[in-house]
Structure 1
Amino acid sequence: MPLDLAFELMMMLTSGCALLVSAWLFWRARRRRSMKALAGFGIMMALWCAGHVAVFYGWHITGMALILANPLMPTFFLDFAIGFVNQGPAQRLWLTRLARYRGLMYVVAVLISLSTLWLRGGSIIAFGPFEHYFVFHGSGWFNIGYTIFIGMLAHALLLWGFIHQQGNRRRSIAAMFAAGAWGLLLATSFIFPSLGLLWYPWPMLLLPSYVLLLVYGVVRYQMLEVNAWANRALLWILMTTLLLGLMALFSAMAGRLGMQALAAVPQWQLWLYSLLLLMLALVLYQPVSKLVERLIYPGSRLDEQLLDTWLARLRDTDNWHTLAHEAQQLLARQMGQPVTVRLLTTPPRFEPGSGLELWCLHQRNDWQFRLKGFDDVTPGMRLTAEVFGSLLATRCGLLERSLQLAEAERKRVSEQHLVELGGLSAAMAHELRNPLNIISMATAGLDPDRKAMIQDQLKRADRLIVDMLAYSGQLHIQPRHTALLPLINSLKPQFDWQQVRLELNLPEHYQLYADPYRLQQVLTNLLDNALSFLRNQSDGRLRLEAGDNPGVLWLHNNGPSIEPDMQSRLFRPFVSRRAGGSGLGLAIVQRIMEAHGGHIHYRNDAGWPVTFALYFPEEPTS
């Protein structure tokens, strides 16, 4: 290939690449001015190369005008550097002020370009293989000097940004410097004929790579699709090089293999046919790939937008029930048929035999998914379920950690509140008991009826103080095996039973693993609370019986049933149905049960008007 034609083709290729890259950058830039400035740099590079092509074809004035527009190229790059560097932690007031003079910089560049064109800052000469080649002289040297100065200023600004920036922006600046060094090496040969060195500008043949490397260095850390494009471009270049090498080798050996007709074909034609086939394969790759995907994974319609929707919908859930319901709706809508989603902390004892199910299991401190009933669905549907299951398992892990953190924070706040309440209660008890003792001593000389009335109220006040201290204080549990019948018998004399019957349905040696003193508090509060209602009726009955499982105790009574609106507030402090009650008895019981690791529930489905079920933990195995 003639050398002048090779130079012309490279200039045209550089111009085309620069225009395409600039159009793509401008489309992606949106409101990012720095990227628009970089697109402007690419456009000026395209026009500069077009100027050389115009000179080759004899359009000297047009070509010289485009080449002498040199200063606009680094001006656009300086504009880009200002916006690219002046972001994040490196943002400075002086850079913001410098950005206000962008318009003036463009005006100066245009004036220098027009003046050097008017003063004939260059001419057209012939040397070597070139009949028309542009060289600088006179005012043209000022043009090229100003261009170099603005370019150095832009790179100095990038160097400052490299020192002050971090992360991807810093890596982008380093990539720009590498591309800039490559561009400087290529462009140097363009000036040689202007210096009287009539050497062929071989490095200029690689100029298309400069534009691509520069833009890629800027955006490779900013836009993911650029890296995907670079991956395909590099693969295409390597395939092209390999194909050309193989065709050259095959052409050289065709004669020896007896293929005379093929050996007679010019090598450039073989290369051309190979490149055309390669380009055709490149064009057809995407549609053929989609067709194959539809054949292999029919029904699969996964894309980035769908995955983003799934992630957003799953992220909005804040509890297990909502997460399972939302996941079930999303997957069923995508599959086009009902799908059951189950979130399990332990594997179930049996597996269903029909229907599509997605399980998320908590195993070995991690969440994993399983598909049930998907053996007969299409591969595309199964792929969809697998991708969704992976996202759901990840969301389960995040929700679990979020709930654990929320529970830990709730306990911390509750414990802090109890500490403050305990201190306040102790101070109040001390302050209240002093005047109560004085009042008690002052009743010594009163008549018996009035003294008894005052003493009853003093006992009530003292019981309220005791309950408040019990609820707000810290609970120290020392559980051990405790026989229940002897404990009940020791408590009987403390209560005024009147006509109420106590029925004990307990094995003779029935035991609970509990703190004896705290268990006594639980039974005292529950029995006292029940008796306050049962004494008012003639057939009052109270039954204490063992549950079906170890550690379960049932306390029934046939007193008045509890109103539905009261049932949800039974164990809250200062909520009471009895006259003169402190409202802390059941709250204290709940605290003691939770301190044991157990719990208490109100039941109205056990055949009695009122039933309390107490669940104590079993003795831990060592």
Structure 2
Amino acid sequence: MAISLMFEVSMLVSSVCGLLVATWLLWRAQKQGELQALAGFAIMMAIWCFGHVALFQGYQQMGIHIILANPLMPTFFLHFAIRFVYAGTVKERWLKRLAQKLPWFYVVSIAVVLQSWWVGAGAASQTLDTRSFFIFTDAGAFNLAYTILMGMLAHGVLLFGWYRHTGNKKRSILAMFGVGAWGLLLATSFVFPSFGISWFPYPMLLLPTYLLLLVYAVVRYQILSVNAFANRALLWLAMMLVILCLISVISVVSGRVGLQALANVPSWQLWLYSLVTLVVSALIYQPLNRLISRLIYPGAVLNEGVLETWSTQLKDAHDWAELIEVGERLLSSQIRQSITIKVENQHKETHQESSALALIVNRNEQGWHSVLVGWNDASPGMRLTAEVFGSLFSTSCGLLERSLALAVAERKRLDEQHLVELGSLSAAVAHELRNPLNIISMAAYDAPAETRQHIQTQLKRADRLVSDMLVYSGGLALQKSKVPLHALVASIVAQSNLADIKCQLDIDETIELTADYQRVQQVFVNLIDNAVAFLRNQADGKLAIQARVSAEAVVIQVHNNGPKIDEALTGEVLFQPFVTKRAGGSGLGLAIVRRILDAHQGRILHRSDAGWPVTFELSFPLASSTSRDETVSGTTPVIGN
């Protein structure tokens, strides 16, 4: 009779688990129709298991009627499967129509149950080692077939959902199929007595696990808190299994080592005592843990709520000053003392001790970490609180650092996008300005000579500004070739209107640049014209151009003895657009030179330490190979006017 008692207990436990699971699902379901249907399945399974308990207790007619209501179980499960698969991205029309016909499935299932009651589809029979067990009569074949058909339909819908869904939905359905196979294995023994098989339904003893595993497979990806519960449940189950093994070993060994009294105790009593001890330990673990923590770390009150508050408020900080202010406020309020937090970029091996409590947060190659300074006289609880807070604060520093870096990168991207748009706009405006300039030039043809000369001068100035804007705002597609530097510079000097300005070239004729000929020509035209503009009204104007080859580049210096450049314009400011002290200048000459040098991976800088009032130093890198993105010409273009 012991095995019959175990079966009855198993059914009772399954019934209680079904009710608890249904209550929990209804509490968490809210407006989720699929979880409400799953709760209905759990309730029906609880009622179905209770029917077996009623049979065991002698209430045969009630038990038979309850068990014959089993078609409602797969009907609820079909309801759940349709809702679960139809939710999300899968919106098949046939699924929608099937969902609309769900009330009819319930009506048919109820009709099958009523028909089963009417024709007497079930009976109670004495089977091997049981007091009473349910069997289907010949009239109950339809009830059993309908139940199996509904279960197959529900799993067919899930199979379609597994095919169509991705991610967590797909994983949940796969887990449900594994649990379904486990449930089929357990439920198969239920029908054995109906087919005359005199075999005790041992698998049904594990029926409580089916419902729990099914619910866990469904909600583990939707309700994350259930995973923590499952983790604890598996831990305690593993501990019970270990205790069971230990009890078995003790029962065998104790008699041989002289502990006859212990050997005479039944194994089930030892296991029961151990199980009670384990349950009591589980109940008192948390209170004892908090009590011991307060004894060892007095004054430290750390829990999930405190840590969540810290993490949330630190995460909301938008800059370093705000992060430090929030951190000092949180830690000071927690330990009820004034705290100073310092954030340093470099790691320091030693920190000076101070009477004030401080938290130093450093960043080194391994990341951010915290150091407590001045906490030697603090209580263990205060130190523990500060260490935990320091670890959390260090993590927040890393997050803020990455956030600020992303913000800088985003601003840079927007600035570059703005510059591209501004360049396109400038090019469009420059092109459009050419038309009115041409009209003004033609309209001035009949004007007096002096007026026409004045207009032509201003038109040339405007045309130069338009040309510079087009060059500066346009793209630079380099057509690289071998450029003889001395010949190029000499031709530009010969075509320049130097007047009384003396020009000296110190360039070896063997020096060659691998560069875009037209762009390099424009560089020297701009630099020479800029120098001539300042030297033209100077009595002893001198211009000198020198070149030498270093290990990595061709270095060119353009000197003139004109007036020194204002210190306010030196540095990067000098090469920005529209910065000029030259009368009639566009302010784009040096900016264009800088852009051309950047395109060649070279550089230009202003120097005042080369023995001349004004020196511009250019550096063109030596070309070791030709880039695939550059077109290299084999001939040198003819110099035009």
- The TM-score normalised by the length of structure 1 is 0.72
In structure 1, what is the Cα distance between the partners aligned to 2:190 and 2:531? 110
Cα separation, partners in 2 of 1:352 and 1:416, compared to 1, 3 Å: farther
Residue by residue over 1:284-337, the C-alpha shift from the partner in whole angstroms, topping out at 9 and shown as x without a partner, is 2333344456656934345574377258625xxxxxxx3323422432332125
Is the deviation greater in 201-210 or in 72-81?
201-210
Residue by residue over 1:502-526, the C-alpha shift from the partner in whole angstroms, topping out at 9 and shown as x without a partner, is xxxxxxxxxxx99978x99xx99xx
1:177 paired residue number: 177
Which amino acid in the other structure matches residue 302 of structure 2? S
State how 1:327-366 maps to structure 2 within 5 Å: 327-336=323-332, 337-340=338-341, 342=343, 344=345, 355-359=358-362
Selected match of 1:422 from 424, 427, 448:
427
2:80 paired residue number: 80
Residue by residue over 1:4-24, the C-alpha shift from the partner in whole angstroms, topping out at 9 and shown as x without a partner, is 111101111111222222222
In structure 2, what is the Cα distance between the partners aligned to 1:432 and 1:348? 67
In structure 2, what is the Cα distance between the partners aligned to 1:618 and 1:370? 46
How far the C-alpha of 1:161 sits from its partner, in A, is: 1.6
In structure 2, what is the Cα distance between the partners aligned to 1:171 and 1:54? 38
Q: Is the 8 A contact 2:314 2:326 kept in 1?
A: no
1:306 paired residue number: 309
Q: Secondary structure at the match of 1:12?
A: helix
How far the C-alpha of 1:581 sits from its partner, in A, is: 8.7
In structure 1, what is the Cα distance between the partners aligned to 2:529 and 2:303? 69
Cα separation, partners in 2 of 1:256 and 1:380, compared to 1, 3 Å: same
In structure 2, what is the Cα distance between the partners aligned to 1:388 and 1:68? 62
1:325 paired residue number: 321
Q: Is the 8 A contact 1:327 1:341 kept in 2?
A: no
2:473 paired residue number: 472
In structure 2, what is the Cα distance between the partners aligned to 1:403 and 1:375? 36
How far the C-alpha of 1:372 sits from its partner, in A, is: 4.4
In structure 2, what is the Cα distance between the partners aligned to 1:38 and 1:91? 21
Q: Secondary structure at the match of 1:185?
A: helix
In structure 2, what is the Cα distance between the partners aligned to 1:113 and 1:75? 12
Q: Is the 8 A contact 2:315 2:396 kept in 1?
A: no
1:114 paired residue number: 114
State how 1:199-278 maps to structure 2 within 5 Å: 199-278=199-278
Cα separation, partners in 2 of 1:596 and 1:34, compared to 1, 3 Å: same
Q: Is the 8 A contact 2:344 2:363 kept in 1?
A: yes
**Structure 1: tracts of 5 or more residues without a match:** 315-321, 498-512, 528-541, 556-570, 601-613
How far the C-alpha of 1:491 sits from its partner, in A, is: 4.4
**Structure 2: tracts of 5 or more residues without a match:** 333-337, 376-381, 477-515, 540-553, 606-613, 623-641
Which amino acid in the other structure matches residue 392 of structure 1? C
Q: Secondary structure at the match of 1:216?
A: helix
Q: Is the 8 A contact 2:12 2:50 kept in 1?
A: yes
In structure 2, what is the Cα distance between the partners aligned to 1:24 and 1:620? 75
2:566 paired residue number: 544
Which amino acid in the other structure matches residue 313 of structure 1? D
Cα separation, partners in 2 of 1:572 and 1:348, compared to 1, 3 Å: farther
The answer on 1:369 being equivalent to 2:368 is yes
Residue by residue over 1:78-117, the C-alpha shift from the partner in whole angstroms, topping out at 9 and shown as x without a partner, is 0010011113333212211211222222222223223322
2:393 paired residue number: 388
Q: Is the 8 A contact 2:175 2:217 kept in 1?
A: yes
2:22 paired residue number: 22
Q: Is the 8 A contact 2:51 2:67 kept in 1?
A: yes
In structure 2, what is the Cα distance between the partners aligned to 1:43 and 1:545? 87
Q: Is the 8 A contact 2:14 2:49 kept in 1?
A: yes
The alignment's C-alpha RMSD in Å is: 4.6
Cα separation, partners in 2 of 1:379 and 1:64, compared to 1, 3 Å: same
Q: Secondary structure at the match of 1:130?
A: coil
Cα separation, partners in 2 of 1:2 and 1:353, compared to 1, 3 Å: closer
In structure 2, what is the Cα distance between the partners aligned to 1:473 and 1:324? 41
| Number of corresponding residues | 533
How far the C-alpha of 1:435 sits from its partner, in A, is: 3.9
Q: Secondary structure at the match of 1:385?
A: helix
2:435 paired residue number: 431
Which amino acid in the other structure matches residue 231 of structure 2? N
How far the C-alpha of 1:488 sits from its partner, in A, is: 9.4
In structure 1, what is the Cα distance between the partners aligned to 2:360 and 2:55? 72
Cα separation, partners in 2 of 1:452 and 1:489, compared to 1, 3 Å: closer
Cα separation, partners in 2 of 1:125 and 1:470, compared to 1, 3 Å: closer
In structure 1, what is the Cα distance between the partners aligned to 2:461 and 2:320? 51
How far the C-alpha of 1:28 sits from its partner, in A, is: 2.0
In structure 2, what is the Cα distance between the partners aligned to 1:59 and 1:105? 30
Q: Is the 8 A contact 1:299 1:378 kept in 2?
A: no
State how 1:481-496 maps to structure 2 within 5 Å: 490-494=532-536
In structure 2, what is the Cα distance between the partners aligned to 1:4 and 1:342? 70
Q: Is the 8 A contact 1:296 1:380 kept in 2?
A: no
Q: Secondary structure at the match of 1:358?
A: strand
1:35 paired residue number: 35
How far the C-alpha of 1:198 sits from its partner, in A, is: 2.7
Cα separation, partners in 2 of 1:554 and 1:267, compared to 1, 3 Å: closer
2:67 paired residue number: 67
2:408 paired residue number: 403
1:510 paired residue number: none
Q: Is the 8 A contact 2:54 2:62 kept in 1?
A: yes
In structure 1, what is the Cα distance between the partners aligned to 2:620 and 2:327? 42
- The TM-score normalised by the length of structure 2 is 0.70
In structure 2, what is the Cα distance between the partners aligned to 1:381 and 1:488? 65
Percent of aligned pairs sharing the same letter: 36
In structure 2, what is the Cα distance between the partners aligned to 1:124 and 1:228? 42
Q: Secondary structure at the match of 1:356?
A: strand
The answer on 1:150 being equivalent to 2:132 is no
Cα separation, partners in 2 of 1:151 and 1:493, compared to 1, 3 Å: same
Cα separation, partners in 2 of 1:68 and 1:447, compared to 1, 3 Å: closer
Cα separation, partners in 2 of 1:399 and 1:348, compared to 1, 3 Å: same
Residue by residue over 1:36-89, the C-alpha shift from the partner in whole angstroms, topping out at 9 and shown as x without a partner, is 111111111111111111111122232222211101110110001001111333
Is the deviation greater in 160-169 or in 333-342?
333-342
2:51 paired residue number: 51
In structure 2, what is the Cα distance between the partners aligned to 1:106 and 1:545? 90
In structure 2, what is the Cα distance between the partners aligned to 1:29 and 1:595? 66
Cα separation, partners in 2 of 1:293 and 1:36, compared to 1, 3 Å: farther
Which amino acid in the other structure matches residue 9 of structure 2? L
